[in-house]
Amino acid sequence: MEAILGRKLGMTQVFAANGEARGVTVVEAGPCVVVQIKTKDRDGYDAVQLGFGARKHVNDALRGHMKRLGDFRYLREVRVEDASAYELGQKLGAELFEEGDLVDVVGTSKGRGFAGGVKRHHFHGGPKTHGQSDKGRSPGSIGSGTTPGRVRKGLRMAGHMGDERVTVKNLRVFESDAARGVLFLEGAVPGGSGGLLRIAKKGKKA
């Protein structure tokens, strides 16, 4: 299995065997239910569709697609090497990971709304002296008047910040608690508590 779905629960501090304090992110890893199986003969590639989370309202068409295995909030497709190794209704979770595994985590970063240049691009702002009382966080000049006589594309300015797909690579699994369906990952992952995550196993150990 290339990856499973999970939910960020928050961050905490744990102690390693040598007494070092480690900052970890607690992730609810699954259970993910196999809702659909795609094969190379029928669909051109091998993959499974996973269902995760719960929703209150599901229409009949979606409930029929999910084969009444559950009312899942999220449906995501994951590539696999051999689709015949999976069956409908199979549950996957934290048991796929072991201590020391390296994983890539994909999530949606926290939305910051409309942010200025100082917060969004770390501009240092204008001078704070000589009467410049209202220019402390101003972006300053955005281009010359004669050549090119316009604002160049891609110029860093104020605008929408955050709420983007972000991937954090090579996070180490500090602990895998299959009984509770929880992973402890060393370091931070994108998004706020309750956000959807895609945890991909790299097949390597730290």
pLDDT in tens, 80-96: 888 888 999 899 988 88
More confident residue, 129 or 203: 129
Q: Which amino acid is at 161?
A: M
Residues of the chain with CATH 2.40.30.10: 3-112+165-205
Helix %, strand %, coil % for the chain, to 5? 10, 40, 50
pLDDT tens, residue by residue, 101-143: 999 999 999 999 999 999 999 998 888 887 777 788 888 889 8
- pLDDT above 70 coverage of the chain, percent: 99
Instruction: Report the mean per-residue pLDDT for the chain.
Output: 90
Q: Decide if 76 contacts 198 (C-beta within 8 A).
A: yes
If one counts every other C-beta atom within 10 angstroms of the C-beta of residue 62, the result is 13
Q: What is the pLDDT of residues 172-202, one digit of tens each?
A: 999 999 889 999 999 999 999 999 999 998 8
Question: CB of 89 within 8 A of CB of 148?
Answer: no
Average pLDDT (64-74) is: 88
In this model, does residue 45 exceed pLDDT 80?
Answer: yes
Host H or E run for residue 32: strand 32-38
pTM here is 0.82
Higher pLDDT pick, 204 / 65? 65
pLDDT band at 206 (very low <50, low <70, confident <90, very high): low
Q: Which CATH architecture has domain 3-112+165-205?
A: Beta Barrel (2.40)
Q: Regarding beta strands 101-108 and 113-115, do their DSSP bridges make them parallel or antiparallel, or are they unpaired? A: unpaired
CB 113, CB 159: distance < 8 Å: no
Average pLDDT over residues 10-29: 93
| Share above pLDDT 90 across residues of the chain, in percent, rounded to a whole number | 59
Helix (H) or strand (E) holding 42: helix 40-43
User: What integer pLDDT is reported at residue 30 of this predicted model?
Assistant: 79
